[in-house]
């Protein structure tokens, strides 16, 4: 019974933060809002191609959601292209980021946080910068 792939991750927040997260992951990261089943609760599904990789769900009025720093979640990572373009994109939006090279691999990473404080990592092939 092996795992065969990754489906999605879910962030829960109040409506105002949910909308800020939607805008951030669409405008900054490059996901797109797509179809979502008619659940009883409010939310968004954000897509890469045909895959809904991020579910944003409205938290109830008395539902407590702690900061990610109190748990074990650190970040989510996406494979990307055009590192120089992404760096310029983040700078233009005033988003602080850190760049790192993966030891022994031909990979570069950009790290930053979303409006809720969750970590975001963008991965790029090192061959792009040669």
Same fold, 1-60 and 74-130: yes
pTM of the model: 0.88
What's the pLDDT tens digit per position in 6-40? Answer: 899 999 999 999 999 999 999 999 999 999 999 99
The domain segmentation of the chain, as residue ranges, is 1-60, 74-130
1-60: in CATH 3.10.180.10 = yes
Domain made up of 74-130: CATH architecture: Roll (3.10)
Give residue 102's Cα distance to chain centre. Answer: 20
Digit-coded pLDDT (tens) for 60-73: 887 766 554 456 77
């Amino acid at each position: 019974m092996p795992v065969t792939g990754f489906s999605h991750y879910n962030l829960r927040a109040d409506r105002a933060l949910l909308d800020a997260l939607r805008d951030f992951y669409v405008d900054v990261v490059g996901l797109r809002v797509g179809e979502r089943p008619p659940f009883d609760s409010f939310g968004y599904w954000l897509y890469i191609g045909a895959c809904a990789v991020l579910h944003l769900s409205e938290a109830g009025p008395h539902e407590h959601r702690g900061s990610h720093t109190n748990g074990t979640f650190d970040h989510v990572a996406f494979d990307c292209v055009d590192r120089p373009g992404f760096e310029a994109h983040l700078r233009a939006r005033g988003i602080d980021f850190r760049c790192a090279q993966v030891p022994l691999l031909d990979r570069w990473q950009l790290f930053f946080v979303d409006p809720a404080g969750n970590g975001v990592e963008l991965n790029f092939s090192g061959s792009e910068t040669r």
